[in-house]
Chain A
């Protein structure tokens, strides 16, 4: 029972991280039909922003040494700026392009960000000690829960709550939902296309910034591809959840994390190295039997 509860909390914490990233990807997809593979690199960029740019092996904290709320704000500003810049320089010029073209363009943006990071920071992974006191473990009953897991889950709940309020209760949020469902119709009614798109990039940037801080405090290692696996799992999460649905993206994030963590815990020992094959196997079955995802959206069908 203790073992199960421990695994459950692990899954919840990993799922939070996936859900954050999946929401960022899902939001952009909903409005722009852009599957942004550069999203993982925004997460990487947020982590690198913490240290002084140098190619030396030892990382020197820059923003990372500031008080925690300043760190969050500064990293969010930097990642949001990068996200908006990627729209301004690349995606804005191919608004009418089909989703495949947009996706390929996002691969290009991804490579550019990775190589810019290589240029300024060198290719060696660096270890960074961010918020190491979060590794402190709290004993609850027989459970030992790292503070970081609780922070991850809480941060995700706060962001998801904030996002829900924004989308449901504010004039801008309602316009975003309308635009996500039927972009052209929204513009016929006066909704400013570039405003809602800019806002979507900005929100996805905030989510990426928080994801990068949580990821870095977990792993403690910087590398120029550190965001890629998270992006990949988050993308799978949006597919499993149903492309175009935000509730689906969050649900998908948790679903993928639970599958992954529970397989890790309960697979026979000699099968554990193949955990991801089992996860992807489940995803394939899911796509075969429920191709529209856990939370199907009508909007997607109508747009095509």
Chain B
């Protein structure tokens, strides 16, 4: 479904991604794990058309996304939930939720989709007419996930959903993502800093550090977490690059 090859991105002179390759299959849940500043957010932003790549290819259903506008990539069925939530604070919860359906003038399913999503996030219903800026962090995270799903995307990318949230709320967020995935046949690509939750949640994991993929494997094969820890913290670079090639 999604193939990224040799993707490189820099900001000014700083290299954020130095030739990254990942792939995501239809209905998979894939996770990118890496420390702060590894380039995880840049990877998702580049796929969504938010930052221009320096080189490389990004294909979605065989279609080349490089150079496409973000709004057109969204129309192909890719939805990004960026890090830091980004609710439109002065807009009401309702307006936030419907923004995508307004933009794509596809309102056929909007009402029924909204009601179904509110089934997962009943708190949002209570806050329906309030400015989204007044919601708590957890409520905002739920709002942006619901908002991203309103346009019926096939690939949903979530950037650090746990950032700044209490562990209990993070659990709810992940349970909801999994339930929605099962119900709607979604494909998920999720970034996180910590791998613990990812091992339960996803089918495959990439470890990204300093703009490179250092490890890639099926979650089932990485359950002890040893290889991930080594890739993550950068011990034994030689050893790990060997592992990563084997896995790829």
Q: Do A and B come from one complex?
A: yes
Give residues in A with beta carbon < 8 Å to B. Answer: 171-172, 174-175, 177-178, 181-182, 184-193, 297-299
Q: With A174-B95, A189-B151 given, name 10 new contacts (CB 8 A).
A: A178-B96, A178-B99, A182-B88, A184-B70, A186-B103, A187-B74, A188-B49, A188-B80, A191-B71, A298-B133
Contact B90 A181 (CB under 8 A): yes
Listed residue (B48, B49, B86, B151) with the most chain A CB atoms within 10 angstroms of its CB = B86
In the bound assembly, the distance between CA atoms of A184 and B50 in angstroms comes to: 7
Interface residues on B, range: 20 to 34
- Chain A residue nearest to B96 in the complex (CB): A178
B104 within 8 A of A: yes
**Which residues from A are CB-within-8-Å of B74?**
187-190
List residues of B (180-208) whose CB comes within 8 Å of A's CBs: none
- Chain A residue nearest to B105 in the complex (CB): A171
Listed residue (A175, A181, A190, A297) with the most chain B CB atoms within 10 angstroms of its CB = A190
B234 within 8 A of A: no
- Chain B residue nearest to A245 in the complex (CB): B90
List residues of B (106-163) whose CB comes within 8 Å of A's CBs: 133, 147-148, 151
**Which residues from A are CB-within-8-Å of B148?**
189
Q: Given A184-B50, A188-B50, A191-B71, do A299 and B102 touch, yes or no (CB 8 Å)?
A: no
**Which residues from B are CB-within-8-Å of A182?**
86, 88
In the bound assembly, the distance between CA atoms of A299 and B86 in angstroms comes to: 10
In the bound assembly, the distance between CA atoms of A299 and B74 in angstroms comes to: 23
B75 within 8 A of A: yes
Listed residue (B48, B69, B74, B82) with the most chain A CB atoms within 10 angstroms of its CB = B74
Q: Given A184-B70, A190-B104, A191-B99, do A299 and B82 touch, yes or no (CB 8 Å)?
A: no
- Chain A residue nearest to B148 in the complex (CB): A189
- Chain A residue nearest to B92 in the complex (CB): A174
**Which residues from A are CB-within-8-Å of B71?**
187, 190-193
**Which residues from A are CB-within-8-Å of B69?**
187, 193
B135: shortest Cβ distance to chain A, in Å? 13
In the bound assembly, the distance between CA atoms of A299 and B133 in angstroms comes to: 10
List residues of B (76-105) whose CB comes within 8 Å of A's CBs: 79-80, 82, 86, 88-91, 95-96, 98-100, 102-105
Query: B100 touches which one: A184, A190, A193, A297 (CB < 8 A)?
Result: A190
**Which residues from A are CB-within-8-Å of B70?**
184, 187-188, 193
Contact A178 B105 (CB under 8 A): no
**Which residues from B are CB-within-8-Å of A178?**
88, 91, 95-96, 99
**Which residues from A are CB-within-8-Å of B48?**
188
In the bound assembly, the distance between CA atoms of A177 and B98 in angstroms comes to: 13
Q: Given A187-B69, A189-B148, A192-B71, do A175 and B88 touch, yes or no (CB 8 Å)?
A: no
**Can you list 19 A-B pairs with a CB-CB distance of less than 8 A?**
A174-B95, A174-B98, A174-B99, A177-B91, A181-B88, A184-B50, A186-B88, A186-B99, A187-B50, A188-B50, A188-B74, A188-B82, A189-B79, A189-B147, A189-B148, A190-B74, A190-B100, A190-B103, A191-B103
B92: shortest Cβ distance to chain A, in Å? 9
- Chain B residue nearest to A184 in the complex (CB): B50
Contact A185 B88 (CB under 8 A): yes
Query: A299 touches which one: B89, B95, B151 (CB < 8 A)?
Result: B89
